[in-house]
Structure 1
Amino acid sequence: MSDNLSNNAIIYATLALNSEVALQHEYLDSQDVPDEERENEEEILADLEQAFMEFVDVYKNRCKADKKLPSIDELLNSQL
């Protein structure tokens, strides 16, 4: 999979997933989640976190091959 994706695609996917994880955490921390939906929403969060970590791993491998890419910490902490 990762060989077919451009660096930009991996960057955008990683940043998007990072944002979605944050939004899902925020939603679960709010009072807006009905009790009967909480378990499903927690499973969604777990899936988002798993996908995020997989893209982080792919990105870290790309960083080893392409020294011009920012580190994962720089990427996630940058203001776009």
Structure 2
Amino acid sequence: MSDNISNNAIIYATLALNSEVALQHEYLDSPDVPDDERENEEEILADLEQAFMEFVDLYKSRCKSDKQLPSIDELLNSQL
């Protein structure tokens, strides 16, 4: 599957998931989460984090074969 996904798609997905993880953390840290929904929201966060880590691993693999790609640290810390 990873050979069919372009580098740009991996980059966009990784950055989008990183943003979603941050937003979900903020939401869970806020008083806005109803008690009866907290467990579900925590499961959503766990799923987002898992997806993010899978794309990070995929991106790191691509970096090994394409030396022109920025490192994962550079990618996640860049100002777009």
TM-score (norm 2): 0.99
Structure 1 residue runs without a partner (length 5+): none
Question: 1:40: how far off?
Answer: 0.1
2:43 matched residue in structure 1: 43
2:32 matched residue in structure 1: 32
SS at match of 2:37: helix
SS at match of 2:68: coil
Q: Distance in 1 between matches of 2:6 and 2:63?
A: 12
Q: Distance in 2 between matches of 1:25 and 1:36?
A: 17
- Paired positions, count: 80
Question: 1:14: how far off?
Answer: 0.1
Identity %: 91
Question: 1:77: how far off?
Answer: 0.1
Question: 1:16: how far off?
Answer: 0.1
SS at match of 1:69: coil
Aligned positions of 1:1-80 closer than 5 A = 1-80=1-80
Q: Distance in 1 between matches of 2:45 and 2:79?
A: 24
Question: 1:42: how far off?
Answer: 0.0
Residues 15-51 of structure 1, C-alpha deviation per residue, up to 9 Å, x if partnerless?
Answer: 0000000000000000000000000000000000000
Q: Distance in 2 between matches of 1:2 and 1:16?
A: 18
Aligned structure 1 segments of 4 or more residues deviating by more than 3 angstroms = none
Structure 2 residue runs without a partner (length 5+): none
Question: 1:3: how far off?
Answer: 0.7
